[in-house]
Structure 1
Amino acid sequence: MKRSQILIVIAAIALVAVLFFLPKVVVNNEDKDVAATETTAGVPEGHSEDDGHNHGAESGAATPEAHRTATPEQLMALTTTRAKYNKATDEQTRNRVAVELGEAYANAAKYDSAGYYYEIAAKARGGEKSYKRAGDAYYEAFTFAATQERANEMGAKARSMYEQVLKNNPSDHDAKTNVAMTYIATSNPMQGITMLREVIASDPNNEKALFNLGILSIQSNQYDRAVERFQKLVSVNPQHVEGTFYLAVSLAETGQTEEAKAMFNKVKGMSNDPALNTSVDEYLAKLK
């Protein structure tokens, strides 16, 4: 989880950097998991102004923030590879270079463009790995979408790529979990919740699904449910920093102060992230 995300959390943990795109939610009364109804903007994500294609420029033009994530070396590699792609005269060469160009865009944190070129290669070559690569790139673009329209566009693109993966490999839980999260940001959030439950039913120790369900429980203020999810997650992976942090948050919100303090202090020993440690210190100060 990516990785960052657009995560709508309570103000006290707003400083924490997270990797999953998460919406505001309403409670699903059936079993206390949650469904999404609205989303908000996050870190802008764009593509190069002159990459020679049009795949969402109208709704997601390149931004200074996106460009600042790329080093001069990455931008030079991107320019060189793009020129190589444009000069290719046969389809086989262009499809091969499309993968290189997708990699160059991904390295420069321009994930929508990476997905675009990975998709070209996947459609030409076929294969589960090719479609998974394209889906992953579009999913990253989805998590950084600056508008609901852009999130819908990139989410739909990611789903279309992952559908090809799941046709061949229905047990690819990573792809299924990502598809679920794109649905949670749409008008049909319960489809995403159902898919996450299916992943957990098939793989009870799936860290990504446990994390997402825990976060969704926090979003709906279902902290008891969140405690269950994150306790399971950290039992599966005791070194899961974000899971440990959100377990501490959930414990604090359910009045389990001493347990929360222990978890927050554990986080401080696990991470050197200044933003995360600042949030931990703020919580600990409130719990004194």
Structure 2
Amino acid sequence: MTRSQLILLLGASALVVILFQLPRSVVENEQLQEVTETESHSMEIPQEVENQINELRRLINQEENVDKKANFAHSLARRFLDYGAVDSAARYAEVIQLWVQRPSELVADIYFIAYERSSGPEEAKDYAVKAREVLQKLLEKDPTNLVLKNRLAMTLVVSENPMAGVSMLREILAQDETNRQAILNLGLLAIQSGQFERAKERFENLVSLNSADHEAKLYLAVSMMEIDQQSQARLLLEEILATQDSIPAIKMMANDYLNSL
């Protein structure tokens, strides 16, 4: 599979949009209460989800408790993010910040996912900056939170000092050598920079830790395909497709890769 085919297939999924917004210089080695929403969405929103959105709007409007109101707004923003309405979701991050008047994990979550699912690198960098500002404040209060630290690291890899993000991911593994998100992030960075053998090692590690980690299996298969281990990759892809608990997006990508072999 060529690099352009890899980008085309992986880039079609929100799971790994972030991968192709990272600078290629990053290598994983030792060196308001009323929100005006956009009407354009990258995917059609099913009626069931539209009903959920309307119900969450109603709850936001009638709720007086600020924290509950913020939780409803966060849930609404996540619905928008699931269907590609990044700008609409980001507006809710802004109003949550106005309501709570403190660094909020809800705000950081919205901005980080907006960063992952942005349609282009400039938009992604803008949301990465917003996410980073909140994450840094949250980590000042809770420096041991590795979930926040993983996210901060991934916003740093699109900053002017991308290796700071890679170093932070390594710090996380020094604290917790089985930290799934840090291993996954380093594996994705290795794929992005063309270090497929290194990526393979990362994803093999994840699969050894959890044989039901279908996302790791998918990326392991991608790495194998790039180093001409097609038969092993095929077995992994077939395994993902045969498993009922694989999430639909991963199955779709596995099927696309299998068809390309």
TM-score computed with the length of structure 2 as normaliser: 0.78
How far is 1:16 from its partner? 5.0
Contact 1:224 1:254 survives alignment (8 Å): yes
- Identify the match of residue 247 of structure 1 among 220, 228, 235: 220
- Residue 5 of structure 1: aligned partner: none
- Residue 97 of structure 1: aligned partner: 69
Q: Percent identity?
A: 24
How far is 1:243 from its partner? 0.8
AA of the residue aligned to 1:242: E
Contact 2:74 2:93 survives alignment (8 Å): yes
Unaligned stretches of 5+ in structure 2?
82-87
- Residue 84 of structure 2: aligned partner: none
Contact 1:214 1:227 survives alignment (8 Å): yes
- Residue 282 of structure 1: aligned partner: 259
Aligned partners of 2:70, 2:27: CA distance in 1, in Å?
47
Contact 2:221 2:232 survives alignment (8 Å): yes
What is the correspondence of 1:127-146 to structure 2 with a 5 Å cutoff?
A: 131-146=104-119
What is the correspondence of 1:1-288 to structure 2 with a 5 Å cutoff?
A: 9-11=6-8, 13-15=10-12, 18-19=15-16, 21-22=18-19, 23-27=21-25, 31=29, 52=34, 61-65=38-42, 68=45, 71-84=49-62, 93-94=65-66, 96-109=68-81, 110-123=88-101, 126=102, 131-270=104-243, 271=246, 273=248, 275-283=252-260, 286=261
CA RMSD across the alignment: 3.2
Aligned partners of 1:103, 1:239: CA distance in 2, in Å?
28
Aligned partners of 2:27, 2:52: CA distance in 1, in Å?
48
Distance 1:203 1:141, change over 3 A: same
AA of the residue aligned to 2:42: E
TM-score computed with the length of structure 1 as normaliser: 0.71
Unaligned stretches of 5+ in structure 1?
1-7, 34-49
How far is 1:32 from its partner? 5.6
How far is 1:66 from its partner? 6.6
Secondary structure of 1:146's partner? coil
When the two structures are aligned, how many residues end up with a matched partner? 245
Aligned partners of 1:272, 1:115: CA distance in 2, in Å?
27
Distance 1:31 1:144, change over 3 A: closer
Secondary structure of 2:24's partner? strand
In terms of fraction of residues, the more helix-rich structure is: 2
